[in-house]
Amino acid sequence: MSDLEQFRAETREWLQANCPEEMRQPVRGPEDHCWGGRKWQFQSDAQRVWMERMAEKGWTAPQWPQEYGGGGLTPEQAAILDEEMKRINARTPVSNFGFWMLGPALLKFGSDELKRKHLPPICRGEIRWCQGYSEPNAGSDLASLQTRAEDKGDHFLVNGQKIWTSYADKADWIFCLVRTDPNATKHNGISFVLFDMETPGVTTRPIELISGESPFCETFFDDVKVEKDAVVGELNRGWDVAKYLLTHERNNIGGEPPGYLKGRALGPLAAEHVGTENGKLADSALRADIARLETDHMAFRALVAKVRAEAEAGEGVGALSAVLKYYGTELNKRRYELMMDAMGAEGLEWESERTQGGMFASEWLRSKGNSIEGGTSEVMLGIVSKRVLGLPDA
Amino acid sequence: MSDLEQFRAETREWLQANCPEEMRQPVRGPEDHCWGGRKWQFQSDAQRVWMERMAEKGWTAPQWPQEYGGGGLTPEQAAILDEEMKRINARTPVSNFGFWMLGPALLKFGSDELKRKHLPPICRGEIRWCQGYSEPNAGSDLASLQTRAEDKGDHFLVNGQKIWTSYADKADWIFCLVRTDPNATKHNGISFVLFDMETPGVTTRPIELISGESPFCETFFDDVKVEKDAVVGELNRGWDVAKYLLTHERNNIGGEPPGYLKGRALGPLAAEHVGTENGKLADSALRADIARLETDHMAFRALVAKVRAEAEAGEGVGALSAVLKYYGTELNKRRYELMMDAMGAEGLEWESERTQGGMFASEWLRSKGNSIEGGTSEVMLGIVSKRVLGLPDA
Amino acid sequence: MRLNDEQQMLQDSVARLMADKGPVSRLRELRDNRDEKGYDQPLWQAMVEAGLTGILVPEEHGGIAFGLVGAGLVAQEIGRNLSVTPFLSTAVLGATALSTGATAEQQSQWLPAIAEGTALVALAVDEGAKHRPDNLSTRYEGGKISGDKLLVLDGHVADLLLVAATDGSGSALYLVDPKASGVTIERTIMVDSRNAARIRFDNVDAEPMADGAAALQTALRAGRAVLAAELAGLSREVFERTLGYLKERKQFGRLIGTFQALQHRAAQLMIDVTMTEALALQALDACDNNADDADAQVFAAKGKAARTALLAGQEGVQMHGGIGMTDEFDIGFFLKRARAGGETLGDANFCADRFATLGGY
Amino acid sequence: MRLNDEQQMLQDSVARLMADKGPVSRLRELRDNRDEKGYDQPLWQAMVEAGLTGILVPEEHGGIAFGLVGAGLVAQEIGRNLSVTPFLSTAVLGATALSTGATAEQQSQWLPAIAEGTALVALAVDEGAKHRPDNLSTRYEGGKISGDKLLVLDGHVADLLLVAATDGSGSALYLVDPKASGVTIERTIMVDSRNAARIRFDNVDAEPMADGAAALQTALRAGRAVLAAELAGLSREVFERTLGYLKERKQFGRLIGTFQALQHRAAQLMIDVTMTEALALQALDACDNNADDADAQVFAAKGKAARTALLAGQEGVQMHGGIGMTDEFDIGFFLKRARAGGETLGDANFCADRFATLGGY
């Protein structure tokens, strides 16, 4: 038995023994997702136990070094863990921006001290992070951000306003882009800092979306004191960290729909609602639209697989991440439009038990944000035309 | 009986008596269209007789003043003439760029002398005109044209090269944009001049298109002497004339397909080729595409009708002509794509009698030029966004 | 077609009325207050006073009989402002159905009440996810109706229900008293914050019309044509708001309206909106004139309007960026209404299918 | 999927071969000279020498059995250069059909000849305007075939015809000698200057295969997958030529590639092209591995490739402006081939229909 085979056998056995039955049920809604953190209310003992057991193995962050609370797994081992979890439908034990974003940034840019301070609590699900990037006048043009951190000798004094801070009202700490040198050119003079959301002077206000959810906040900083050693990477070089994370974020988008459509094929779903004639969807235009969408999606998945294979071979993804971000989100929007076409009147009910409070329409509306957040489709196309195609500026 | 009713009755009677039977048959191909001019070979006596009889009435140019060889009809009378001709399927007696383009320009900008000299031969079908606008490096950016007309005291000396000169090899005279003041800014210093294509120094070379036809030429001017009184409008203000004509040209595009598809509905045509199931096209995706196209076309026709009604009420068309040019040509391209989808293998045969020498594919290919000639779709959208929407330049 | 002076005056006065009394902020209030009636009562009252509730009611029944072009002009302004009234259900669908197919007695009872604003009417046709008016399960037999309906616009506040049912030989409309025994009404609030009801009919007394089949077909056609006009108005408003934002929002040190890719998309949207308006009016006019191709025109107009409104809503949100995704900002209301209005009385695919069938393919 | 070293070497050598010996200028020559054979004989000979004619022929019959991924790599380069050879008809369709379903004797007779370049094979399937392989009129009965075929690629130069016919129980392939009595062949030149033939079979001797049904289905699938790769290569070439033009052509005092609207469209085209390449290779690989969803992947790949190639051709001509419309310039050849290749063995709608059926809707 090879090492990997043995790892698989042991993992399977461990999961079988340690994953509570309840944590093998499909996720029913956002509340079944465990975000962790100081304010987290576990939905059940099983949810708590599962998180703790996985954290103890380091498997909440399988590939992070063990010294920082991770599992220290190789990519091959991590893939096996993932497969074995999927095999029994095990839920993700805990996840938040600490895992997706801050961790990778700290591992690449952070000092050993910062890693030791922040990574273990993330792995244990104790601290939930949020991201402070956009500002009202710095959206697509993120580098024009104006939140200032003044050097007061032994600390920074932060003043300004962020917007689109995901779950800022529920997070414990924030990683945040601030301007530390107002005289430098736009992309310079920005630093990437970390601070506790309970620091005096931090206030948040949830933003209600058109989908009815409030996953984002406005966040205000009024004379917030931040330690000077809370800077990730070099002072005034925070844009490098931000760029790295944005690319990383875009890479994570594989075009698979979240929520209700996750794992559901659109064609058979449509058949339930619009009916069939001779085994084909009764709405033949919808049938053609779905087949075209699914064809495009299959092509997209082939591209994602190719890019991933190349990345694993060390060829790097680079600006292609903009391609994936652009096309994956546009596909997702098309998919939700067709879902709404298929569901007709039944998809439109908003305040009803039948639709679990308008779940279908809400997810459709929420999908519209996909091509805005994390870099708009227009910005992505600009990146592609400049950095991939090499087209010149005017 | 009102005057108009009487006019209709007389017109009907005259047409009945004077339109040869052969000229009431549908046009079978380009050769059935009478272009007129010194080099024209009439396809039949009937074609010649019909042109001459109509010219005598002034009805080759129904609304032009009688003193210049036109019919002097009011718009209402001209509409009646048009209806009565359509009623018996009477062909257009003669037509060329003299009627469509130069005539309107002369009537608006020309001196009485120029009108007297040039309009009557146009009306009689004696002189066929072509248009010298584009140059190899002045396509979309027409105003950057470089063909020069040097003032030599009693005449201009014209040197340069035009491209996309429609039927220059078959035309007798050309109306041409030339630079008369090389020191003026781009849009100034251009003049609109007229000269005979038999003037020494004029040579033409037909351009073969991807469709196999050669309706355009490259035209070269090598020390061509042009009379100084051959300028339409003011010297160095030729751009005004050109702009007027471009708008006029764009107005003439109603989105109706030419050639084989003229007057043919796409749906039933497709049914002949792809077959039907339960009365519906067997290719249901094609059926949806055709219905969407025809819906868009119906919307476009409604817009054209509205713009025309407003124009007749004196509200002017202005930049909306760019809307019509853009959408009409894009519709036409979509229509030919769907025709090719419908015809499948039968549409692809190129050198065969069955397809009259690849007529279907040839028309499909020719339609690709519609969104390039007379101002590209991109230029049209630019005009719309600047002049209709008032969006600012960068 | 061009509007005549009378129509132009109507459009101007309705535009003022809706902007004054029925702006988007009223929709927001009604939604946030979870208004029990679910429509804008003061606005509806003002429309009664302006004669608009009787716009399709014959003069002998107290209406102004302005024709569908007139109703379309009202709907355009409703679309621009997202005004919430029972105009479609009562003044268009109800009035058209009754004046087309009802008996003289039924007309005398209901048409003046519609014009005077003392009765609301709701049309119950759909039974499943999609609009399939020729394939109904609801049965009329021996004076009684049984079946399940949904998407009954304003069904929970209606004084009269017009129910589509089949007696075995074809679909027709029947009059049902919403308070009759056997009627169960569940109000459902839709994504656009409008009302629709699910209504169960369990062996309920129903009254046939003189020509209930014609009433159904004519009402559906009128409703589709008027909805096309509403969606055209909605699209125009979204386009104008978005164009305004392009001229005002700066990123990368310049107005975003200077970016050529957005300019071209804005131009394409304007063209679609302008064509949709023209087609909707033309289709309404074709109905008023009983043109041969009126059905084809209405299917084209409704289908095109559904697509244009959705495109406008999508582009509107995208071009507004993050702010467009917030509930605080109005643009999302237009997107929601675009989808709900597009679905109502047959979506774009339904219309394309009918249009193709009429075209013989 | 990623190419292995062997596949990468094949791609590199084929790319050089096609660019050297089979560039677009050769297509133009063949067309202008009205070449009798209608294909590039020197190039075909070079392909024979390189072993490419036997790329799908088993080693025991003298081939190199490189699999469909290998054939797809060849087709990509054919697409980039518009090289004119009987590769699809003979090396892909012919070799696949024979090695799948022919008797041992038939295989021994024909497969080495294909690999050695001494025999050309043509597949006769289509009978009408559209590809409908499950609905054939051509009959096989008592050892004889009768029927009319069209779009028989390289049919006028073939040494062996594989004819799809039905014996009443289903469609299968039969071997027919093109010189047999009762065969009438009319060469037709298509818009892409390739050959196709219309062939009439009037009670012609035909030889059944061991499994002619499997031969037909497997050959069609292989042909579609390889065509997808060809169209992907064509699209890549059009895209690159167009991108080059955007970086070179000036209007309004600037490179047209600086216009944002064109930049975004170029980016979108690149994305479609890149996805199409990835999908085509993945589908070919799925066939080689007999993956469960190989059929679905092939229909997706062929459909997507047909749409992408047409889009590339359209955008290529439009972005080149007037020059793109001239025959003197090469871009039009790609547009023509895009449509002909898209139609061959089932257009995008045909593929979408099959794809949907496989998806259960």
Q: Which of A280, A288, A394 lies at the smallest CB-CB distance from B288?
A: A288
The answer to whether B387 faces chain C, any CB pair under 8 Å, is no
Number of independent structural domains in chain A: 3
Check whether B252 has a pLDDT greater than 60: no
pLDDT at residue B46 greater than cutoff 70: yes
Mind telling me how many Å the CA of C251 is from chain A's nearest CA? 6
In tens, the pLDDT along A266-315 reads 999 999 999 999 999 999 999 999 999 999 999 999 999 998 888 777 76
Residue-wise pLDDT tens digits, B265-289: 999 999 999 999 999 999 999 999 9
| Mean pLDDT, residues C38-60 | 97
Instruction: Kindly state whether residues A197 and A287 are assigned to the same domain.
Output: no
Structure letter (DSSP) for residue B66: G
Q: Residue A271: list chain D partners with CB under 8 A.
A: 360-361
In B319-338, the residues whose Cβ lies within 8 Å of chain D are 333, 337
DSSP one-letter string for C116-183: HT---EEEE---SSS--TTS---EEETTEEEEEEEEEETTTT-SEEEEEEE-SS-EEEEEE-TTSTTE
Indicate whether B326 and B382 sit together in one domain: yes
CB of A210 less than 8 A from some CB of D = no
Residue A108 in domain: no
A391 vs D246, D268, D275: nearest CB: D246
pLDDT of residue B256: 78
Are C77 and C18 in contact by the 8 Å Cβ rule? The answer is yes
Residue B367 located in a structural domain: yes
Q: Are the C-beta atoms of residues C11 and C18 closer than 8 Å to each other?
A: no
A364 inside domain: yes
Is A248 among the domain residues?
no
pLDDT class for D326, splitting at 50, 70, 90? very high
pLDDT at residue C253 greater than cutoff 70: yes
B24: domain CATH number?
1.10.540
Average pLDDT, chain B: 93
pLDDT at A374: 86
Catalytic residue among A22, A249, A294, A363: A249
Cβ-Cβ contacts under 8 Å, C276 against chain B: 299
A161 plus A216 within the same structural domain: yes
The residue whose two tokens read 């009565």 is B84
Q: What residues in chain D have their Cβ under 8 A from chain C's Cβ atoms? A: 259-261, 263-264
Segment A342-356 shows an average pLDDT of 93
pLDDT at B17 over 90: yes
Q: Which of B164, B348, B377 sits opposite D343 (nearest CB)?
A: B348
Q: What is the CATH number of the domain that holds A190?
A: 2.40.110.10
pLDDT band at A58 (very low <50, low <70, confident <90, very high): very high
Q: Is residue A31's pLDDT more than 90?
A: no
Based on the fold, state whether residues A145 and A262 are members of the same structural domain. Answer: no
Is the CB of residue A269 less than 8 Å away from at least one CB of chain C? Answer: no
If pLDDT is split at 50, 70 and 90, which confidence band does B254 have?
low
CA Rg value for chain A: 22
Q: Are residues B273 and B355 in the same domain?
A: yes
Q: Are both A259 and A364 inside the same structural domain?
A: yes
Task: Write the CA distances from A344 to A275, A283, C38, integer angstroms.
Answer: 12, 12, 22
The overall average pLDDT reported for chain A is 93
What is the extent of the structural domain holding A56? 3-95
Residue-level pLDDT at A334: 97
Q: Is the pLDDT of residue A250 over 70?
A: no
Chain D residue whose CA is closest to B286: D349
- For residue C17, give the nearest of C62, C48, C39 by alpha carbon: C48
**The pairing of beta strand B129-132 with beta strand B173-179:** parallel
Q: Is the pLDDT of residue B14 over 80?
A: yes
Mean pLDDT score of chain C: 97
Mean pLDDT value across residues C325-329? 97
- Cβ separation of A382 and D260 shorter than 8 Å? yes
C262 in A contact zone (CB under 8 Å): yes
- Chain C partners (3+ C-beta pairs within 8 A): A, B, D
What is the distance between the alpha carbons of residues A365 and A357, in angstroms, rounded to a whole number? 14
Decide if C261 and A378 are in contact by the 8 Å CB cutoff.
yes
pLDDT tier at B230, thresholds 50, 70, 90: very high
Return the bridge partners of C247, or none: none
> Do B148 and B208 sit in the same domain of this protein?
yes
Q: What is the rounded average pLDDT of the residues D270-279?
A: 98
**H or E element in which residue B225 lies:** strand B216-227
A320: nearest CA partner in chain D: D271
Chain B interface includes A285 (CB < 8 A): yes
Is B67 an active-site residue?
Answer: no
| Domain C5-116: CATH superfamily, name plus number | Acyl-CoA dehydrogenase/oxidase, N-terminal domain (1.10.540.10)
Residue B138 has pLDDT above 60, yes or no: yes
Contact B288 A291 (CB under 8 A): no
Q: What confidence score (pLDDT) does residue B113 get?
A: 95
Top residue of D251, D252, D264 to mutate, by most chain C CBs within 10 Å, is D264
pLDDT tens for C160-215 read 999 999 998 999 999 999 999 999 999 999 999 999 999 999 999 999 999 999 99
Q: Does D274 touch chain A (CB under 8 A)?
A: yes
Residue A182 to residue D19: CA distance in whole angstroms: 55
More confident of the two residues B137 and D18? D18
- CA–CA separation, D263 vs D271, rounded Å? 12
| Chain A touching partners, 3 or more CB pairs below 8 A | B, C, D
- Closest in A210, A341, A343 to C327, CB measured: A210
C-alpha dihedral sign at D158, D159, D165, D170: negative
B32 and B64 belong to one structural domain: yes
Contacts of D189 in chain B (CB under 8 A): 349-352
Assess if residue A280 is contained within a domain: yes
Question: What's the whole-number mean pLDDT along residues D338-359?
Answer: 98
- Given a cut of 80, whether residue A226 has pLDDT beyond it is yes
Q: Mapping DSSP to helix (H, G, I), strand (E, B) and coil, where does residue C32 land?
A: helix
Choose the closest CB to C150 out of A273, A345, A365: A345
3-state SS, A216-231, equals: EEEEEEEEEEEEHHHE
Domain ranges of chain D: 5-116, 121-210, 214-358
Q: Does D291 touch chain A (CB under 8 A)?
A: no
Please say which residue of B171, B203, B236 terminates a domain.
B236
Pick the CATH number of D121-210 from 2.60.15.10, 1.10.10.60, 1.10.8.60, 2.40.110.10: 2.40.110.10
Q: Is the predicted pLDDT of residue A254 greater than 70, yes or no?
A: no
A122 within domain boundaries: no
pLDDT digits (tens, 9 = 90+) for C350-361: 999 999 999 999
Tell me, what's the pLDDT at C2?
Answer: 79
Residues of C in contact with B300 (CB under 8 A): 275
| C211-235 per-position pLDDT tens digit | 999 999 999 999 999 999 999 999 9
Closest-CA residue of A relative to D357 is A280
Inside any domain, residue B347: yes
Structure confidence by residue, pLDDT tens digits, B320-340: 889 999 999 999 999 999 999
Rg (CA), chain C: 20
Q: How many angstroms separate the CA of residue A80 from the nearest CA in chain D?
A: 20
How many CB contacts within 8 angstroms connect chain A with chain C?
125
Give the confidence band of A27 by pLDDT, cuts at 50, 70, 90: confident
List b or e across B91-116, with b for residues whose CB sees 16 or more CB atoms inside 10 angstroms. Answer: bebbbbbbbebbbbbbbebbeeebbe
Instruction: Chain A: give the shortest CA distance to residue D173, in Å.
Output: 29
Residue in D with minimal Cα distance to C264: D261
Question: What ipTM was predicted for this assembly?
Answer: 0.94
Homologous superfamily (CATH) of C214-358 is Butyryl-CoA Dehydrogenase, subunit A, domain 3 (1.20.140.10)
Q: Which residues of B touch C358 (CB under 8 A)?
A: none
Residue A377 lies in a domain: yes
The closest alpha carbon to D227, from D346, D75, D97, belongs to: D75
What average pLDDT does this structure show over B151-180?
Answer: 96
Identify residues of C whose CB sits under 8 angstroms from chain D CBs: 259-261, 263-264
Q: How confident is the model over D196-255, as pLDDT tens digits?
A: 999 999 999 999 999 999 999 999 999 999 999 999 999 999 999 999 999 999 999 999
From D77's Cα to the closest Cα of chain C, the distance in A is 33
User: Would the CB atoms of D336 and B365 count as touching at under 8 Å?
Assistant: yes
Q: How confident is the model at residue B244 (pLDDT cuts 50, 70, 90)?
A: confident
pLDDT bracket for residue A2 (50, 70, 90): confident
- The residue of chain B with its CA nearest to that of C293 is B298
Predicted pLDDT of residue A314: 72
A297 and A360, same domain (yes or no): yes
**Measured distance CA(C246)–CA(C270) in Å, rounded:** 13
Q: Which of B249, B294, B315, B351 is catalytic?
A: B249
**Residue A177 and residue A290 in one domain:** no
Can you tell me the mean pLDDT for B213-222?
95
